[in-house]
């Protein structure tokens, strides 16, 4: 599995994917900081990167509307962080939890993992996007 860390997250999080034995990079490391979200989504889909982002609204979508990743008929998956903790260690915990869950599933084709952190509780929700009939 290949993980791509979005620009809204620290590029230092790449280390977590490497520790799990998977190819991992960041928008920063790939020199794509100036790309629009739709361009980044197209790149991730074309090259098989599972995007990890806090930008849930644009990439997953909202209010029943698809986002830049989930509008694709076939995509390599999305790990959507719904809350961003202040502390670096907490951020590492939620990103690593999302990565580990993705690895347990084996692949994330047309899947979105939402990672929720509220108070001291971490939860993961798996959804299929787009919903296949």
Work out how many domains the chain is built from and give that number: 1
Q: How confident is the model at residue 101 (pLDDT cuts 50, 70, 90)?
A: very high
pLDDT tens string 14-65: 999 999 999 999 999 999 998 998 899 999 999 999 999 988 877 887 777 7
Q: Is residue 26 part of a domain?
A: yes
For strand 111-118 and strand 78-81, is the pairing parallel, antiparallel, or unpaired?
A: parallel
Is residue 119 included in any domain, yes or no? yes
| pLDDT number for residue 16 | 97
User: Residue 120's domain spans which residues?
Assistant: 2-128
- pLDDT band for position 4 (cuts 50, 70, 90): very high
What is the rounded distance in angstroms from the CA atom of residue 87 to the CA atom of residue 116? 15
Q: Under a CB-based contact definition with an 8 Å cutoff, are residues 50 and 20 in contact?
A: no
In a domain, 133, yes or no: no
């Amino acid at each position: 599995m290949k993980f791509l860390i979005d620009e809204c997250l620290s590029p230092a999080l790449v280390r977590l994917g490497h520790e799990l034995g998977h190819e991992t990079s960041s928008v920063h490391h790939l020199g794509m900081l100036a790309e629009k979200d739709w361009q980044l989504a197209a790149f991730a889909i074309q090259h098989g990167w599972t995007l990890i982002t806090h930008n849930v609204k644009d990439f997953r979508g909202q209010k029943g509307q698809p986002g830049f990743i989930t509008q694709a008929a076939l995509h390599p998956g999305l790990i959507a962080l719904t809350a961003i903790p202040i502390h670096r260690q907490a951020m590492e915990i939620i990103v690593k939890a999302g990565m580990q869950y993705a690895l347990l599933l084996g692949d994330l084709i047309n899947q979105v993992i939402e990672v929720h952190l509220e108070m001291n509780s971490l939860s993961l929700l798996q959804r299929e996007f787009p919903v296949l009939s």
